[in-house]
Amino acid sequence: MQVQNLASSDHWDRVKKELRNELGEDIFSNWFGRVKHEETVGDSVRLSVPTRFLKNWIQNNYEKKLIGLWKRELDDINRVELTVRGALRPRQISPAQQPKAITARRISGRAAPFDIAPQFGSSASSASIPCLADTGEEAASEFLSGAALNPKLTFDAFAEGASNSLACAAIRQMAAGHEGTLGMLYMHSTTGIGKTHLLQAAATEARKAGRRVAYLSAEFFMYHLVPALRTPAFPVLRQAMKSIDLLLVDDLQFLHGKQAHEEFGKTLEMLMDAPSQIIMAADRAPEELGTLSIKVMQRIQTGEVVSIQSTDYALRHEILRKRIASARRTHPAFTVPDEVADYIARYVISSARDLEGALNRLFAHNQLTKQPVTMNLAEKTLHDLVRIGEPRSIKVEEIQQVVCKHFSVTKADLLSSCRARTLVRPRQIAMYIAKVVTGRSLPEIGRRFGNRDHTTVLHAVRKIEDMVSKDEALAQEVELLKRLINT
């Protein structure tokens, strides 16, 4: 049996590798980072997880995928069993108590996702209370534990540059808990620029400083905390929330549903009154989310909103330098010539995630073939990642910023309903450029300009097209703005 399970551990390593490749590092770390292989017996594989919530989530969302991946390794596998590590045996509940517990479970719409957390413990007087009444302790424990952290995502491993220095400085101060720092910070950027890295680094640093931290994704909030509202767990959970020093919420764009929004708003109010610090991240500006309630938006706007811009050449080079240095700590023979690093930094421009992917490919090739990394190898291996001669993706917000600066108007004025001539012309030019250089649809551009109708955008585009064909000075001015935007 021991030999079989040792072999199965190798199978589990390969299953995890496939999961990581299919789901991506972030999702894999959140949901499978703490899953352990216990044993393989007959046609069944037993895996263990630290919490009941994680067990329910994996069963509901990934059970079929797990069985499929295991069957690739062992044809006989037909079942994957998930257990909770260290779970207590169910208490003996008297007949008088049992109906109450069953009713509470039915209200939740599914089996209660919480067990008892040993770190909170129970008083002697609570020994006769039904098991479900104690589930608030597990809920509180899971909230305080939050989503799994990647130990590699630290401040030391983060590459700082002009595009992210403000966000990085603010988050470092908030993680340290310095007096007088921000109470709330909202940061946004496109995917793969470093938001999750900064949040996880802040969580790790704050915990080292002895602070009470909760790091969770919007999905974790929705599928973990909101269901607890329908169980007796909630009073204990609510009390635990009040002890938080720093709350970090990632991928806020995935928060949806009226109840989730209402509860998130209440949580923000409670934590700000505690007082606590809150850092949130999303892939777009708060006014562009569209799904957040007015109350949540008001809370966000009382804090600081920071945008992380796309990486420039210098920052991409610094990211590579740090990743190469990290690889060399475990594999000293691995080297990347300067010309190859320069090639990657110049032409792998989509995201920091792609930079790491490019370096990982070269590293894997070097380790498997024992061949040195060369320019020829880089060009062959990274052809699908490089963007030689391709225009970079331009955001509507960048256009608005350049136009506002050029015409000395504020963004609020540009998006307002004011029809003053000094605002109408810059607004129409900005809409025209957005249509020409971004390829976005008219309705989408209209939403970015104060939720205007697509016919308004169409009128602006046609108006400026007609004017630049007749007015040479205006045509030159528009071309200047395009060059400034592309710089």
Cα–chain-centroid distance for residue 36? Answer: 24
Q: Would you state the structure tokens that stand for residue 474, as one six-digit string?
A: 């205006």
Q: What was the pLDDT predicted at 389?
A: 47
Which residue type does 295 have? K
1 to each of 41, 42, 313, how far by Cα in Å? 8, 11, 55
Q: What was the pLDDT predicted at 138?
A: 63
Residue 469, pLDDT > 80, answer: yes
- 160: which DSSP letter? P
Contact 224, 192 (CB under 8 A): no
Q: What was the pLDDT predicted at 463?
A: 92
Range with the poorest average pLDDT among 222-226, 245-249, 316-320, 456-460 = 222-226
Bridge partners (DSSP) of residue 214 are 247
Arithmetic mean of pLDDT, 357-377: 90
Q: How far apart are CA 87 and CA 134, in angstroms?
A: 13
Which regions of 59-181 does DSSP assign to beta strands (E)?
79-84
Q: What was the pLDDT predicted at 336?
A: 93
- Global pTM value: 0.53
Q: What was the pLDDT predicted at 53?
A: 62
Bridge partners (DSSP) of residue 281 are 187
Q: Would you state the structure tokens that stand for residue 417, as one six-digit string?
A: 């309903």
Q: Sign (positive/negative) of CA torsion 304, 256, 26, 357?
A: negative
pLDDT band at 132 (very low <50, low <70, confident <90, very high): very low
Q: What was the pLDDT predicted at 171?
A: 92
pLDDT band at 154 (very low <50, low <70, confident <90, very high): very high
In this prediction, what percent of the chain has a pLDDT beyond 70?
78
Residue 40, SS3? strand
Residue 213, SS3? strand
Residue 110, pLDDT > 90, answer: no
If one compares 109 and 297, the residue with the highest pLDDT of the two is: 297
pLDDT band at 94 (very low <50, low <70, confident <90, very high): very low
- Lay out the sheet containing 213-217: strands in order across: 213-217, 246-250, 277-282, 184-188, 304-307
Q: How far apart are CA 348 and CA 382, in angstroms?
A: 9
Q: What was the pLDDT predicted at 202?
A: 95
Q: How far apart are CA 385 and CA 84, in angstroms?
A: 41
Q: What was the pLDDT predicted at 432?
A: 92
If one compares 49 and 24, the residue with the highest pLDDT of the two is: 49
Residue 121 burial (CB count, 10 A)? 9
Strand-strand pairing, 213-217 and 304-307: unpaired
Residue 6, pLDDT > 70, answer: no
Range with the poorest average pLDDT among 85-89, 135-139, 242-246 = 85-89
Range with the poorest average pLDDT among 34-48, 118-132, 223-237 = 118-132
Q: How far apart are CA 186 and CA 193, in angstroms?
A: 15
Bridge partners (DSSP) of residue 186 are 280, 305
- Report the C-alpha dihedral over residues 441, 445, 448, 449, rounded to 10 degrees: -160
pLDDT band at 320 (very low <50, low <70, confident <90, very high): very high
If one compares 102 and 56, the residue with the highest pLDDT of the two is: 56
Q: How far apart are CA 106 and CA 149, in angstroms?
A: 33
pLDDT band at 142 (very low <50, low <70, confident <90, very high): low
Backbone angles phi, psi at 246, to 5 degrees: -140, 120
pLDDT band at 383 (very low <50, low <70, confident <90, very high): confident
Cis, bond preceding 275 (omega within 30 deg of 0): yes
Contact 53, 90 (CB under 8 A): no
Residue 47, pLDDT > 50, answer: yes
Q: How far apart are CA 256 and CA 354, in angstroms?
A: 29
Residue 119, pLDDT > 80, answer: no
Q: Would you state the structure tokens that stand for residue 96, as one six-digit string?
A: 């008088």
Mean pLDDT of the chain: 77
Range with the poorest average pLDDT among 130-139, 229-238, 385-394 = 130-139
Tell me which residue of 409, 396, 397 sits closest to 439, measured CA to CA: 396
Give per-residue pLDDT as tens, 322-355.
Answer: 989 988 988 899 999 999 998 898 888 877 888 8
Arithmetic mean of pLDDT, 349-376: 87
Arithmetic mean of pLDDT, 2-29: 72
